[in-house]
Amino acid sequence: MNILDPQGPIAAANKTILIDSVAIMLAIVVPTIVAILAFAYWFRQSNPRARYLPDFAYSGRIELVVWSIPALTIILLGGVAWIGSHELDPAVRVEGTGSPVRIQAVSLDWKWLFIYPDQRVATVNSLTVPVGAPLEFELTSASVWNVFFIPQLGSMIYTMNGMVTRLNLRADNEGDLRGLSAHFSGDGFPSMMFDVHVISPLDFPNWVANTAKTGAVLDADSYRELERQSVETGRRVYRLDNPRLFEYIATQKIPPAPGPTLTTQSAQSYLGK
Amino acid sequence: MLGKLDISAIPIDEPIPLVAGGIVLAIILAVLIWAGVKGYYPYIWREWITSVDHKRIGVMYVLLAMVMLLRGGIDAIMMRAQLAIAFHSDGLFPPQHYNQIFSAHGTIMIFFVGMPFVIGLMNLIVPLQLGVRDVAFPTLNSVGFWLTATGALLVNISLVIGEFARTGWLVFPPLSELTYSPGVGVDYYAWSLEISGIGTLVAGINLVTTVLKLRTRGMTYLRMPMFCWTTLASNLLIIAAFPILTATLTMLILDRYLGFHFFTNEAGGNSMMFMNLIWAWGHPEVYILVLPAFGIFSEVVSTFSSKALFGYRSMVLATMAICIISFMVWLHHFFTMGAGPNVNAVFGIASMIIAVPTGVKIYNWLFTMFGGRIRFDTPMMWAVGFMVTFIIGGLTGVLVAVPPADFLLHNSLFLVAHFHNVIIGAVLFGAFAGYTYWFPKAFGFRLHEGLGKAAFWFTLIGFYVTFVPLYAAGMLGMTRRMQHYDVAEWRPWMIAAGVGTILLTIGVVFQLLQLAVSIRHRDELRDATGDPWDGRSLEWATSSPPPVFNFAVMPNVTGEDAYWTIKSKARQQGLQAREPDYRDIEMPRNSPTGFVCAFFATVMGFALIWHIWWMVILGLVGAFATFVVFAWRDHDEYVIPADEVARIDRANLAERQAAVNAAESPA
């Protein structure tokens, strides 16, 4: 899950900006730290060779320099931030090979539901995507906030009930990655990690076909069962009944999920339940 | 009769909080009995609890902060122990307990350690530096302190009666709404902060008024010590920001108690609004804490370099720039909410702009050291440690202000490491520097040097050993608030951070040891000169501890570094020969208003948390009646006659003269 080992163009661009920004700042931070330690050491009271300048409390030239150095650094970094924010806007489409794959992610308590509306399949805690294709995510939450984050693919984003956020990613190498929620969402939060399988575009249709064959049906009833709080250990797969399920969740046509609430009974006793 | 409260509120199935609570209760009882046996109650009541002396209140604030630092520190130790162990396992604490620990840790460290520590030091020192006899509103000052203590008390009561919030220290909805957090935890959080928030607000009003209206003769704005400037900036921020916190929590309370829908999922509530509001307070809050620390370091670096502060006016400008810009950057706490590139970029750049005046401050401290004659007493060690550590925290801070970089680091342990880097590296180091620097002023004896240095080194090294691994874990994608994990590459970093926590704990033990040893050896560490560090500002012009009226005669200020100027003149022209013209001094009477008011506020807060409505009314009426009684008072001042002032001052001066002579005569 090393963010310095990106597996897609977004993560790579995020990382480049991160490294560049650190490099720009290190250029002034390192000399400043050295100067602090050097001045502190040289001007120690016990050093007879250090000159004592009790009245040296103002110098227009030094003032000009000390205001300019951080200002210039920030102008440079501000440019990086401005350009970077626009180029890496999560809502902007990513180029890629093959047709884009639409994925609708719903954070449930405490698991992730991934809906493939075009393929009419859905999975829990396991995301399978073809290598090189643009991945167009729409995200929402069934109850409380979470953050959808695959560190090696880059750019995390919030999931919020009643709202849809957008994220565009691409995976460039076949293999297995992991994702997680990056916003605390209750007792089962640490279990919101999910698998990401990046497979060849040739295998992707097979995977879809297999999933559709083996999966149970995801409709309003099975969704209601799924949205109840639980820590998911298996990797359930579904055939999608209605491709507009995500829209119903995001627009609250399906009301917000009842959880998360406390997981221990003892603590609930004084709640009068 | 007792609302939601019944015997099941006591978590008998969770031994850790019960045992901890039992030990604390035993200690409190032991202290109370000891004080009773020794007959200290009348003294404590007269001289401390009802005191409206800004010095006493300042000391009590700092004491509160240090006690709560132990509580928050124990939480931290539990968290790091949990994460060192909870690899593929549940570790030491189940989620419902662990989630309370990290929520309480954040809440306590910010509201009941950071805030009282800096407010205490400002209370203690600012009137002395301004050359005045008290703050603008002495009784209000006492009210502010005791309301802060009320908040701290309520948070700690939650340990044994009910539960604390398990939602993180900023109780984000919808998780904190009644639907998803039906327990009393969020209510403990909200009412504690509503009550202590009012305490903080009145402290802010008081200190701003003091700086603006009560300065001694000749103390123009541009002659004020830097600490007074940062106090002004910090308290202006308190006045502007704390009402936002109060209002935001009020909205959450309305949601939870009366079925409103400000932040709910249903009925048109909008949880994103909570994010905006809480950070519109939360970001200035960071500067409320750190600006006073900057002021302390300005005093310390200048004093121990035996030089005036370099670029004083530049520092004033930088302070006020930070004060204003810090209000315009709150959105950088949620770049990943999907606001769009223009909004993100504007707030990212605004956040970076704060680094400019902050950088200027670093350079000005650097050039204050240049050409100095630096004495490395403990406060100066903290200052140098701060400068290096804070630059690194600043670097990582600017890094997460770049939106595309934040897209990888938001909410990660990298972020956790960043804000501990600045809060420990600047606020806590600053508080410790101010504590060792001004301790002799408050009590008349120094703290033990060797133990202070030991505490410094353990804290500094412990800090790096704890938080560098968290930076690394954040780079490996690890996010905050995880109760357990199964990623093998995170494990070594969690163990390393655990080791660092042991070092930090040893640092805290040394601080406690330092205090205990110093009190035992107070006669050897006695400072009779009132000016142990060869200080530059007016707090060193009076005796240590200062008399209740601070200055027998109000000092007359003719330039920056007021006391340094007086000392230089005295050296050149011989010691002052002329006896000053002593007059009667009017001082405010002690008042139990603050304590009684806070007592009723505690009753009311507790009753609100547990829905005990008759008790709410009792508390409210009690607090209001206290206020009415205070408003009806006939005499609020007493007079110290000129003869008495002269007697005290002559005795102090004679003692100082003897100490100075003893120091100057060759042994």
Does a structural domain hold residue A156? yes
CA distance B16 to chain A (A): 15
Verify that A113 and A75 share a domain, yes or no: no
Verify that A106 and A35 share a domain, yes or no: no
Question: Would you report the helix, strand and coil content of chain B in percent, each value rounded to 5?
Answer: 70, 0, 25
Q: Show the domain range for A41.
A: 9-50+58-87
Q: Report the alpha-carbon distance of residue B122 to residue B438 in Å, rounded.
A: 11
Asked whether the beta carbons of B179 and B252 are under 8 A apart, the reply is no
Least confident of A181-185, B126-130, B376-380, B557-561: B557-561
Identify which of B291, B277, B276, B199 has the alpha carbon closest to the alpha carbon of residue B236: B291
Verify that A42 and A145 share a domain, yes or no: no
Q: Do B388 and A33 count as a contact with CB atoms less than 8 A apart?
A: yes
Confidence of residue B4 (pLDDT cuts 50, 70, 90): confident
Task: Render pLDDT for B394-432 as a digit per residue (tens, 0 to 9).
Answer: 999 999 999 999 999 999 999 999 999 999 999 999 999
SS3 category, B517: helix
Identify which of A111, A113, A100, A90 has the alpha carbon closest to the alpha carbon of residue A249: A113
pLDDT at B96: 85
- CATH code for position A167: 2.60.40.420
Please provide the distance, in angstroms rounded to a whole number, between the alpha carbons at the two ends of chain B: 74
Confidence of residue A272 (pLDDT cuts 50, 70, 90): very low
Verify that A81 and A111 share a domain, yes or no: no
Does a structural domain hold residue A258? no
Task: Render pLDDT for B329-379 as a digit per residue (tens, 0 to 9).
Answer: 999 999 999 888 999 999 999 999 999 999 999 999 999 999 999 999 999
Verify that A124 and A171 share a domain, yes or no: yes
Verify that A240 and A121 share a domain, yes or no: yes
Does a structural domain hold residue A260? no
Residue B251 predicted with pLDDT over 90:
yes
Question: Would you report the helix, strand and coil content of chain A in percent, each value rounded to 5?
Answer: 35, 25, 40
Asked whether the beta carbons of B364 and B294 are under 8 A apart, the reply is no
DSSP A161-214: TT--EEEEE---S-EEEEEEE-S--STTGGG--EEEEEE-TTHHHHHHHHHHHH
CA distance A215 to chain B (A): 27
Does a structural domain hold residue A266? no
Q: Residue A82 is nearest to which of B337, B349, B482, comparing CB atoms?
A: B349
Cβ-proximal residues to B50 (8 Å cutoff; 6+ apart), any chain: B142, B590, B591, B592, B594, B595
Q: Residue A186 is nearest to which of B175, B312, B411, comparing CB atoms?
A: B175
Confidence of residue A151 (pLDDT cuts 50, 70, 90): very high
Verify that A117 and A143 share a domain, yes or no: yes
Element (H, E) at A116: strand A111-116
Q: Report the alpha-carbon distance of residue A163 to residue A256 in Å, rounded.
A: 12
Verify that A152 and A83 share a domain, yes or no: no
Does a structural domain hold residue A196? yes
Q: Do B369 and A149 count as a contact with CB atoms less than 8 A apart?
A: no
Q: Report the alpha-carbon distance of residue B466 to residue B296 in Å, rounded.
A: 25
ipTM: 0.92
Verify that A242 and A141 share a domain, yes or no: yes
- Scanning B238-267 for CB atoms below 8 A from A yields 265-266
A66 reaches B (C-beta below 8 A)? yes
Give residue for tokens 């009412």.
B191
User: What are B355's two structure tokens?
Assistant: 């680094």
Residue B136 predicted with pLDDT over 50:
yes
- Scanning B367-426 for CB atoms below 8 A from A yields 367-376, 384, 387-388, 391-392, 394-395, 398-399, 401-405, 407-412
Could you give the C-alpha distances from B153 to A78, B91, B471, B618, in angstroms and in order?
45, 29, 34, 19
Phi-psi region at B3: left, alpha or beta (left = phi > 0; alpha = psi -120 to 50) = left
Verify that A245 and A157 share a domain, yes or no: yes
pLDDT at B553: 86
Q: Work out whether strand A216-218 and strand A237-240 pair parallel, antiparallel, or are unpaired.
A: parallel
Domains in chain A, number: 2
| Angle, in degrees to the nearest 10, between helices B312-325 and B355-369 | 160
Verify that A83 and A183 share a domain, yes or no: no
Does a structural domain hold residue A261? no
Q: Which CATH code is given to the segment(s) B288-521? A: 1.20.210.10
Verify that A124 and A206 share a domain, yes or no: yes
Q: What is the pTM of this model?
A: 0.92
Q: Work out whether strand A154-159 and strand A165-169 pair parallel, antiparallel, or are unpaired.
A: unpaired
